[in-house]
Amino acid sequence: MSKILVTGGAGYIGSHTVIELQKVGYEVVIVDNLSNSDSSVIERIEKISGIRPDFEEFDLCDQAAVATLFQKYSFSGIIHFAASKAVGESVEKPLLYYRNNLQSLINILESMRDYKVQNLVFSSSCTVYGQPEKLPVTENAPVQTAMSPYGNTKQISEEIIKDSVSAYQGIKAIALRYFNPVGAHESALIGELPIGVPLNLMPFITQTAIGLRQKLMVFGNDYNTTDGTCVRDYIHVSDLARAHVIAVERMMKGKNTNAYEFFNLGTGTGSTVLEVIQSFERTTGVKLNYEITGRRPGDVEQIYADTRFANEELGWKAEKTLDDMTASAWKWEKYYREVLSAS
């Protein structure tokens, strides 16, 4: 049975991907330093799938520990999520982000080279496109100057991977450029759990609805969109997780057309902030306390994916609707506050 390493596998997207990997028969090894996650996720993964993944707790910036990991296990592929990811924090602490996000990747690539591991799926982001000149965004859209150190680490990471694939024979890689992952697993046992005040829309909505936040602020209603609020391409986290399994299998089965490939992962449909709020109120029956305020500096007006390349090449398509996303996010928020917080 093939063994897949999932770095950051106790995190939001990582944990959902572990479930999808287990579902199709892969053995999973999770590495996570738990800086932005909780070890109880491992138990909840086991509760969902009936299989407990191997778990190694350490920091991937520790080169010796990474080498020891590759000595201990024989991996068929690696899915690399582990990274610091808060845009605002990256502006305040750029060196932390450059060290954490780049050094961990370099250590993994070095061990891939040294221990002859061939297949890497990298967790990238649509932030590499900045404010795109044309919509929807295709893979041919130019990579723009990054808006933050976080975004820059994604761009630099892709360059590091591309150069490594070119230099070290046998290594293949696929970068998956996500749009806006939201929602939670249908079991409601795992979901998004931001530390502190959420920076993303969906967890702020659910925390406002449950009474943890007093009010949701909608930043700007004078954009050139249908209702004046910003547009994003929201994708259900379980749909996103499936794409990682398909990507790693694509390389393992030799179906990739180049040693380095990249794909946009979204639904291909943009939703405004107000449309997300309306979906939440419709699926949950909960009225949200929100207020429209001025624009937030640095916000992109609208961005959504052209998903045709991923649909055709990967044979993957996002299936869940915006209503599925808002309903599952609320189900998870309630479970977490009522069950996990109380335990």
Tell me the DSSP string of 200-251. SHHHHHHHHHTTSSS-EEEE-S-SSSSSSS-EE-EEEHHHHHHHHHHHHHHH
150 has catalytic annotation: yes
pLDDT at 332 > cutoff 70: yes
Give me the percent of the chain exceeding a pLDDT of 70. Answer: 99
Q: Which domains does the chain have, with CATH numbers?
A: 3-182+234-265 (3.40.50.720), 201-232+268-340 (3.90.25.10)
Q: What is the mean pLDDT of the chain?
A: 96
Q: Which two tokens stand for residue 202?
A: 């969906």
Residue-wise pLDDT tens digits, 157-175: 999 999 999 999 999 999 9
Q: Which two tokens stand for residue 227?
A: 């209702």
Instruction: List the catalytic residue out of 12, 150, 304, 336.
Output: 150
State the pTM of this model: 0.97
pLDDT score recorded for residue 338:
85
Mean pLDDT of 64-81: 98
**Using 50, 70 and 90 to split pLDDT, how confident is the model at 341?**
low
In three-state secondary structure terms, 175 is: strand
- Dmax of the chain from CA atoms? 56
Q: Which DSSP letter does residue 43 get?
A: H
Q: Name the packing angle between helices 201-209 and 273-284 (round to 10°).
A: 40
Mean pLDDT of 178-185: 97
